[in-house]
């Protein structure tokens, strides 16, 4: 499809009438909406008439929220989990948050298995440990499965099921 003078004039006319790019593409035939938009920009056609549907509908001015309204504080009611209608007379159990167990970095990977950037291969774990700006930075270096960049331990950290991530976000939001 090429833009002939007749098609360009029709495009200018339809654009000036306020038709959308999709409608113009339909009128011209053999051209996409994006092609119409591109041609409009190349021609420098900016202002256009409002369509009858948009000009017939006057806009409502936005009303500002009253400045004197104080922000609402969340209620201090205890949260309960599960079927609350059945537990009306039972006090909700306190929410206990598990604290993650952090292994010391030195205990994670034995010195003999640690890898530098020069010793990494397709079958070694590429999990970075430490600060890359320091001399004690290294990669895990344990054996990894084919097609996976990390060992089994680091795969559990890197690849979490979606349900677990959502649950963890919910727990963090409740704690915050």
Instruction: Answer yes or no: is 151 within a domain.
Output: yes
Quick one: DSSP state of residue 32?
-
Give the tokens for residue 38. Answer: 């591109």
Q: Which domain holds residue 123?
A: 105-175
pLDDT at 145: 83
In percent, the amount of the chain with pLDDT more than 70 equals: 62
Quick one: DSSP state of residue 36?
H
Q: Count of CB atoms within 10 A of residue 128's CB?
A: 13
Instruction: Answer yes or no: is 100 within a domain.
Output: no
Alpha-carbon gap, residue 94 to 79, rounded angstroms: 8
In percent, the amount of the chain with pLDDT more than 90 equals: 11
Instruction: Answer yes or no: is 117 within a domain.
Output: yes
Instruction: Answer yes or no: is 85 within a domain.
Output: no
pLDDT at 33: 92
Number of independent structural domains in the chain: 2
pLDDT at 34: 93
pLDDT over threshold 80, residue 94: no
Angle at 155 between CA 154 and CA 156, to 5 degrees: 85
Instruction: Answer yes or no: is 65 within a domain.
Output: no
Instruction: Answer yes or no: is 94 within a domain.
Output: no
Instruction: Answer yes or no: is 149 within a domain.
Output: yes
Q: Count of CB atoms within 10 A of residue 19's CB?
A: 19
Tens-digit pLDDT profile for residues 99-144 = 555 455 445 677 777 888 888 888 899 989 888 898 888 898 888 8
Instruction: Answer yes or no: is 118 within a domain.
Output: yes
Contact assessment for residue 37 and residue 21, using Cβ atoms and an 8 Å cutoff: yes
Report the greatest alpha carbon distance in the chain. Answer: 80
């Amino acid at each position: 499809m090429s833009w002939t003078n007749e098609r360009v004039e029709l495009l200018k006319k339809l654009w000036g009438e306020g038709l959308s790019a999709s409608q113009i593409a339909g009128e011209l035939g053999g051209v996409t909406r994006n092609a119409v938009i591109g041609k409009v920009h190349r021609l420098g056609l900016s202002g256009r008439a409002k369509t009858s549907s948009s000009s017939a509908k006057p806009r409502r001015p936005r009303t500002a929220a009253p400045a004197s309204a104080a922000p609402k504080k969340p209620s201090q009611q205890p949260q309960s989990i599960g079927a609350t209608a059945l537990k009306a007379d039972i006090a909700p159990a306190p929410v206990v948050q598990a604290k993650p167990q952090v292994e010391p970095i030195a205990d994670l990977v034995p010195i003999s298995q640690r890898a530098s950037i020069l010793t990494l291969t397709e079958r070694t774990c590429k999990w970075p440990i430490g600060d890359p700006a320091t001399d004690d930075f290294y990669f895990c270096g344990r054996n990894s499965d084919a097609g996976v960049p990390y060992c089994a331990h680091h795969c559990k950290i890197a690849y979490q099921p979606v349900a677990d991530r959502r649950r963890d976000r919910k727990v963090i939001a409740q704690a915050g």
